[in-house]
Amino acid sequence: MRTIDDLDVAGRRVLLRADLNVPLQDSGPPPEGVEGRPSTTMRITDDGRIRASLPTIEALRARGAKVIVCAHLGRPKGEAKPELSLAPVAARLGELLGTEVAFATDVVGDSARAAVGGLADGGVALLENLRFEPGETSKDDAERGAFADRLAALAEVYVGDGFGAVHRKHASVYDVPERLPHAAGGLIVAEVEVLRKLTEDVERPYVVALGGSKVSDKLGVIDNLLGKADRILIGGGMVFTFLKAQGHEVGGSLLEEDQLGTVREYLRRAEETGVEFVLPVDIVAATAFAADADHDVVPADAIPADRLGLDIGPESGKLFAARLADARTVFWNGPMGVFEMEPYSHGTRAVAQGLIDSGAFTVVGGGDSAAAVRLLGFDEAAFSHISTGGGASLEYLEGKTLPGLQALED
């Protein structure tokens, strides 16, 4: 895989596919009497992915490239939706770079061409949300290719650095590299190097901690890891399908009935192959999905029928930390509970601290796990690596071919 060091970028227009899919929050309408303002103002609540993109952008600028950043935000499904505009991202990117970032109000139209045409060497422009264009995500090769032609026409060189999107066969990820000289950015190079450490010559014990809401999101990775991990810890909303598969009451907790058979098969295979499955021994069960709801710690096998589990309990936090203590390699993907609400954040906090205390090579697998690390106030440097791509990381560990990586290797 070529890197940006293998490209001549001085004075050239470089299309950089970044991952700037940051969480936004509507901060409400502007004050009365203020004219010329949008009806709502979107605020970035976690700029981690923007910060992760900075090293590659700065490296290209330092070498005299005209940097054209493109990225997606949310799932607008081919329609221009103001609440999913990348305008707030352009402002924040400019603040972090310490330079003005020209923002194009379209992707491949007049505004984009004007923004690109106005770039000096070392300048940066950001195009509007790629997914405002139907061709970006189209499953029709011709439609996707036609959009890729227009996007590629803006530049002379392509750099792929949006690891969070490399598992998608999208125009900006898969088709544009076929049309331009291309290379991988520093972020993708680092992500692949880390993930190889989780799949090739792994230092053991190798422990995987999985959480999040749905078992179905993790089926492939569990299936693959049953032959590779020494120990798998299960928490989050997905644990209730495991508990139900063991015959326990889960009340109103999140449950995927259609996955019970699959989960029973995983438990059987784990016992057969010697992989240790660790499930919670207690659960924080509440009367409603709310921070101020009445809640108690109950045994994991005795959740009241009128309650729902929103976090693993304190004894489970201690258990999980103990099962992480001797690990030499840890991969964590998915929070242990609804960490955004303080009463249900303690299980996720216990696992994060357990990773740090283990002294192992620790990888936080992106998405909500990475957001939890920052929201709960942990020092990101305390972990070996925090991935920017939850879904991409999981698919890599499943052994799947990722279209965006394949395009960069060809």
> What residues are annotated to the active site?
49, 214, 367, 391
Among 349, 350, 352, which residue's Cα sits nearest to residue 365? 352
Alpha carbon distance, N-terminus to C-terminus of the chain: 8
Q: What is the DSSP string of 346-357?
A: HHHHHHHHHHHH
7/159 Cα distance (integer angstroms): 9
**Largest interatomic CA distance in the chain:** 69
Which amino acid, 164? G
Which amino acid, 212? G
Q: Which residues contact 349 (CB under 8 A, 6 or more apart)?
A: 317, 339, 376
Please report the beta strands in 149-307, taking only residues with DSSP state E, as ranges in sequence order.
Answer: 157-160, 182-184, 206-210, 231-234, 276-278, 282-286, 295-299
Give the number of residues written for the chain: 410
Q: Give ∠ CA 337-342-344 in degrees, rounded to 5.
A: 25
Token reading at 316: 């489970």
337/322 Cα distance (integer angstroms): 19
Tokens 């906090």 identify what position?
A: 349
- Do the Cβ atoms of 307 and 287 come closer than 8 Å? yes
Among 145, 199, 218, which residue's Cα sits nearest to residue 407? 145
The helix or strand, by DSSP H or E, that contains position 124, with its residue range, turns out to be: strand 124-126
DSSP category for residue 3: B
